[in-house]
Amino acid sequence: MFDVLIRGGTVVDGTGAPGVIADIALKDGTIAAMGPNLTGPARTVIDASGRVVAPGFIDPHTHFDVQLLWDGAAKPALEHGITCVVPGNCSLSLAPLKVADRKALVGMFQQIEELPPEAFTEAFEWTWEDYAGYRTALEKDLSINVAPLVRHSVIRLWVMGEASQQRAATAEEIAAMQTLLRQCLDDGAIGLSTSFIDVDENGRPVPSRFAQFEELDALCAILSHYGRMLQVVPEFYDTDLTIARIDQLAELSIRHQIPTTFSPVFDSHLTPHNVARTMARVEEQFARGARVWAQMQTRPIDISFSLRRPSLFFARLPRWVRVLRLPFAERLAALKTPETIDKLVADTDANGGIIAAMMAELRVRGGGEAPAHLVGRTLGEIAAERGESIALALIKVSVEHDLDVAFIAASRGHEDTDRIGPMLAHPLMHIGASDGGAHINSFATYGDTGYLFSEFVRKSGALSLEAAVKKITADPAQIWGLKDRGTLREGFAGDVVVFDAATIGRGVERPSFDMPGEGMRYIRDAIGIEAVLVNGQIAWTKSGYTDARAGQICAMA
Amino acid sequence: MSVTGGTVLEALVVAGHDGAAELLVQVRYDNGVVGNTVLSADVGFELMQTAGVESLSELVGRSWLDVIKGVVNV
């Protein structure tokens, strides 16, 4: 008897081949049979007629290291069709870590991922120091598959302590890091991540940034024994520096015969040649035999701000800048003073009201004090309802809620669908960089896969349905070396997503107070997903999450 | 030849990776190379203050070396 029979769907198997109508039978965690009109009893039958049946999506750039300890589904990633996440990117992870170094690492996590303090003090029991202990804690309650990286910074911190953020390593210390990395890989890490840009909560470069090339080279020699991935965050804001890093990665890739990937790659009308130049160098290096995968996100970049902190969003308005840079109490007082308000409002009406018009498109995003009935609405709508000018409404709404109302200027970067589509379709462009689980107070990192289909398959046609599925299933599985995942094939893992190709997308961004300590984060709901199966068990349906806990630490090919 | 460290060609607000507004400054350096520098909000505001400008447009045409003097030790 099969465990699950998915009947009558259009099977898009992840290879890029055209979809065909077929049944899929799952048993003991894997795909037991595929084909038309399968017979045989099944405990559960899913009618997928009119729907697409695809491999579960793989998100190769996440920061769920902490969240997975209290939420084994990495919600809401799983309900968006993600069945495998790669946490541990950008040189921070929770292991290996000595007890004495926990405080320092928590600071880095709070800086980069914006997790509330309760996430580290209330949400899980910190029982481990080594990677094996972290893996044990992680595996306890997984309903999503995890392919965790180990981060360079924690390896450095373990071996060098405070000196990890002060100097280059000695030969002995590099040797100790090699030994530690080997142990982590034996204990389940699927590769190494490092960063050339991140800083800790005090603005100091994270430990990996103090490494000289010899250190990275030595660590890649260990990756070489396992054929594992090196992931880096380059100086992505500068094309020339990024190209220099591509060349460096290529040398490491060729010398050690390892895959490498760098993220993120952004497009913007302000830097219109960035992606073309970056990919030209990637193509050159692939032609030399290197594997240097560029990684690009699908979603546009928004600007978010509140009047709690000065934002460069107001950089064109000198009077606004002066007021917003006042200490909080003085700022709040100034924003309640009629004369000041009049002047601030008048400033936005200058130049034919261009700035006021731009402000009218702002949406209330959330923030700690934003009233629910305002969230998602434009400032223009709110101003009209209140009978106020746009700028006055922005000030008044903020003041009425202790300045803790966040506004969003949507799609201010990486936003041109006609440009982004072909970039995503490039055969050497790896779709990822969602940052799932990070920047949780700044923007939602969920729904990038739905957006891929709604924006670049249905709307622009830059990718076919089959090509889009391949980009987020078989491609990442092969790039990272995940064993028996990413493709619908007999004997492969039963990671399956059933979705409606006509509606799959992402919901509107909304605040959710579901983090430890009732901390806030932004999320998006899934649209068009019917069911998500992980290792042969139904993990999510439109009715919600199930009790299945079939997630695994991924085996490597 | 005077050393200016370059000339600011453009100063714009852009969307940063983490959703914050950042300051993109385009500079033509003394050797003719044009490059972009992206600054966080804190550094951007500090730069505007030390450069004595109240709007980004006032940065255009200024010596890059002169502009960043107050922000970094040069």
Digit-coded pLDDT (tens) for A392-418? 999 999 999 999 999 988 888 898 999
A15 three-class SS: coil
Q: How confident is the model at residue A177 (pLDDT cuts 50, 70, 90)?
A: very high
**Amino acid, single-letter form, for residue A259:** P
How high is the pLDDT of residue B74?
A: 45
Distance from CA of A303 to the nearest CA of B (A): 5
Q: Is the CB of B44 less than 8 angstroms away from the CB of A264? A: no
Distance from CA of B1 to the nearest CA of A (A): 26
pLDDT tens digits for range B10-64? 998 888 877 788 898 999 999 998 888 888 888 888 888 888 888 888 899 999 9
How high is the pLDDT of residue A429?
A: 98
CA distance A198 to A474: 30
Residue A292: closest CA among A265, A325, A331: A265
ipTM for the complex shown: 0.81
Please tell me which of A109-123, A217-231, B10-24 the model is most confident about, judged by mean pLDDT: A217-231
How high is the pLDDT of residue A106?
A: 85
Residue from the list A302, A309, A313 with its beta carbon closest to the beta carbon of B13: A313
Q: How confident is the model at residue A115 (pLDDT cuts 50, 70, 90)?
A: confident
How high is the pLDDT of residue A250?
A: 98
Q: Is the CB of B44 less than 8 angstroms away from the CB of A315? A: yes
The model carries a pTM of 0.91
- B72 CB neighbours in chain A (<8 A) are none
Please tell me which of A80-94, A141-155, B19-33 the model is most confident about, judged by mean pLDDT: A141-155
* Share of residues in chain A with pLDDT > 70 (%): 99
Q: What would the mean pLDDT of A327-332 be, rounded to a whole number?
A: 94
The encoded tokens of residue A44 equal 């559960």
Contact residues of B toward A, CB < 8 A:
12-24, 35-38, 41, 44-45, 48, 54-57
CA distance A91 to A113: 12
- For chain A, give the mean pLDDT: 93
Pairing relationship of beta strands A363-366 and A406-413 according to DSSP bridges: antiparallel
Q: What single DSSP character describes residue A457?
A: I
Q: Provide DSSP, A284-315.
A: HHHHTT--EEEEE-SSPEEEEE-TTS--GGGT
How high is the pLDDT of residue B72?
A: 61
How high is the pLDDT of residue A369?
A: 75
Q: What would the mean pLDDT of A379-395 be, rounded to a whole number?
A: 96
The encoded tokens of residue A307 equal 């009047």
Residue A192: closest CA among A222, A162, A212: A222
How high is the pLDDT of residue B2?
A: 61
Residue A304 near residue B16 (C-beta atoms within 8 A): no
